[in-house]
Chains A and B, each alone.
Chain A
Amino acid sequence: MALSLRVAFWATLLSLPFGILAAHALARWTFPGKQVLNGLIHLPLVLPPVVTGYLLLLAFGTRGALGGFLADLGIVFAFRWTGAALAAAVMAFPLMVRAIRLSIEAVDPRLEQASATLGASPVWVFLTVTLPMALPGIVAGAILAFAKAMGEFGATITFVSNIPGETRTIPSAIYAFLQVPGGEASATKLVIVSVVVAMGALLLSEIIGRRVAERVGGR
């Protein structure tokens, strides 16, 4: 349980800046390869999770291209909870980017122009106008990503296996309980926990989103 929360928390927190950047790029910039980037981001949504997990294993496993390099820096993903967080982040990323992109697209570009004429450089325009006005979508995207990260199973179990205390998140644990006779009771408890967490996340995103929207809507 605590492990699942930790995995989902770090997966969300660390992917958020990249999510905002990617969403902004897709919403506002034109650059060659935009559709390719869009496709890559959404790939985990349509690929079988097992495939995503296996690709992660190839890339970030100890003998993988990136994994070997990162291992030299002391960052190891394979069969660690950090790997579970990476898998969760990759799987949740498309949902996060979608929500944030929509909210950035909803920001009136004429307000960004007004900001520029008042002397704000593009970075300041983003920080003082785009970001605060897109905040409801960013919060919603982050909470959605958190809920998705909590529930990620396929890519996680493929990439980092199902090691008690290290990579056994709630879905992995439910799966493990269901593999042994008489594990149903324990599995049911975890199922209830999952449902509560997921519902809580959705409610929270709704409430925060509405409150932020009120503030941004300005009254």
Chain B
Amino acid sequence: MLQVSVRHAFEGFTLDASFEAPPGVTVLFGRSGSGKTTIVNAVAGLLMPDEGRIAAGDWVLLDTAKGVRLPPHRRRLGYIFQEGRLFPHLTVAQNLAYGARFAPKDAPREDRGRIVDLLGIGALLDRRPGALSGGEKARVAIGRALLSAPKLILADEPLASLDEARKAEILPYFERLRDEVAVPILYVSHSASEVARLATTVVALEAGRVTGQGPAAEVLGDPGVLPAGAREAGALLTARVVRHHEDGLTELDAGGAPLFLPRVGQAPGASLRLRIAAHDVIVSRGRPEGLSALNILAGHVQEIRPGGGPGVIVAIDTPAGRVLARITRRSAEALGLAPGAAVHAVVKTVSVAPSDIGASAAASVPAE
């Protein structure tokens, strides 16, 4: 369990954040300028905050009250930078080996062959970074961090500089890291779909302050915490694949409620996490008839929050989990929505983007 508490004053901006990161992927989620990267740099030791304490169990990285300030090279972290930062004068193999020589002899190490296979970089080992594509660089950077025998992995928007196709290529590797590598990961992102796919825990940040933290589904389902703004709001559901239908749909079971999605790659029985964007959800008082949408979840309004402009965010508790809907205030009033009201949340099958659907072994990661 990583515990972070930092205060640092910049000109015109004060960071004052405390949070805990249990095993798995903890995503620092917020808009640019919310202080995410500053926090990660403080954990890495690249920035020495005015005050704070950063510790993983009894491994204390920083404790200004006691005068403990470990320099970066003694923190045993694997930092995956946004721009990769591979060493251009070394080959891929030498980049991968770079961190290992500085790690203590008895440190638990990842097997190099396994990591190379996991990231699919076996064919690149003799090349230099100048000859790699953006996606290849990103994968080598992940490998280099993993193979330095880190106690914690930091990732600062590792996908931000990649195009959508490359993102779709790299995201599954992070899912596999989360599910197959024991090292906890602190991951910075401003992308709601990255958060939905990767996060075990979400720490929402706004203007240097933590506005919400906890299990991913809880934080993303809280209409009071919208770190990316109302437009990006969306809830996280966990569902099990029931079967693939002939007509290209996959039937899921979400807490007893059936859901239909465009065909997904996972086999029946597999667990999925999917993000339902709030602007894709329609709210109906009665059970809708003669509607093309396949997914209708019965539930109760839990909370209504103004969502900026003419909109509101309605949180609806359904058997499948908490769903957020972004509708106009006018509609909310016309329907007479209030906490406790019985409603139906309607989700079009095709509105769930493939990039918002991911594997979910994270749900089973036990809390420490």
Q: A189 interface residue, CB < 8 Å from B?
A: no
Task: State the CA gap A215–B89 with chains docked (Å).
Answer: 7
Task: State the CA gap A218–B93 with chains docked (Å).
Answer: 13
The answer to whether B128 and A218 have CB atoms under 8 Å apart is yes
With a CB–CB cut-off of 8 A, which chain A residues contact B90? 218
The answer to whether B88 and A114 have CB atoms under 8 Å apart is no
Task: State the CA gap A132–B128 with chains docked (Å).
Answer: 15
With a CB–CB cut-off of 8 A, which chain A residues contact B326? none
The answer to whether A114 and B79 have CB atoms under 8 Å apart is yes
User: Out of B75, B83, B98, B130, which one reaches A115, CB within 8 Å?
Assistant: B98
**Using an 8 Å CB-CB cutoff, how does the interface string of A92-110 with B read, 1 for contact, 0 for none?**
0000000000000000101
The answer to whether B129 and A120 have CB atoms under 8 Å apart is no
Q: B354 interface residue, CB < 8 Å from A?
A: no
**Using an 8 Å CB-CB cutoff, how does the interface string of B66-80 with A read, 1 for contact, 0 for none?**
000001111111110
With a CB–CB cut-off of 8 A, which chain A residues contact B129? 218
A-B contact count (CB 8 A): 77
Q: B131 interface residue, CB < 8 Å from A?
A: yes
Distance between A32 CB and nearest chain B CB, rounded to angstroms: 20
With a CB–CB cut-off of 8 A, which chain B residues contact A217? 88, 130
The answer to whether B75 and A117 have CB atoms under 8 Å apart is yes
Task: State the CA gap A124–B101 with chains docked (Å).
Answer: 11
Bin chain B's interface residue count.
20 to 34
User: Out of A110, A116, A132, which one reaches B72, CB within 8 Å?
Assistant: A116
**Using an 8 Å CB-CB cutoff, how does the interface string of A167-210 with B read, 1 for contact, 0 for none?**
00000000000000000000000000000000000000000000
Q: B271 interface residue, CB < 8 Å from A?
A: no
Bin chain A's interface residue count.
20 to 34
The answer to whether B76 and A218 have CB atoms under 8 Å apart is no
Using CB atoms, name the residue of chain A closest to B129: A218
With a CB–CB cut-off of 8 A, which chain B residues contact A133? 88-89
Q: A14 interface residue, CB < 8 Å from B?
A: no
User: Out of B72, B89, B102, B130, which one reaches A124, CB within 8 Å?
Assistant: B102
Q: B213 interface residue, CB < 8 Å from A?
A: no
**Using an 8 Å CB-CB cutoff, how does the interface string of B123-144 with A read, 1 for contact, 0 for none?**
0000011110000000000001
Q: B85 interface residue, CB < 8 Å from A?
A: yes
The answer to whether A119 and B79 have CB atoms under 8 Å apart is no
Question: Given A117-B79, A119-B148, are A218 and B71 also a contact pair (CB < 8 Å)?
Answer: no
The answer to whether A119 and B83 have CB atoms under 8 Å apart is no
With a CB–CB cut-off of 8 A, which chain B residues contact A35? none
Max chain A Cβ within 10 angstroms of own Cβ: one of B73, B129, B145: B73
Distance between A196 CB and nearest chain B CB, rounded to angstroms: 33
User: Out of B75, B81, B89, which one reaches A110, CB within 8 Å?
Assistant: B81
Distance between B203 CB and nearest chain A CB, rounded to angstroms: 21
The answer to whether A129 and B102 have CB atoms under 8 Å apart is no
Q: A40 interface residue, CB < 8 Å from B?
A: no
Task: State the CA gap A110–B46 with chains docked (Å).
Answer: 10
With a CB–CB cut-off of 8 A, which chain A residues contact B85? 108, 110-111, 113-114
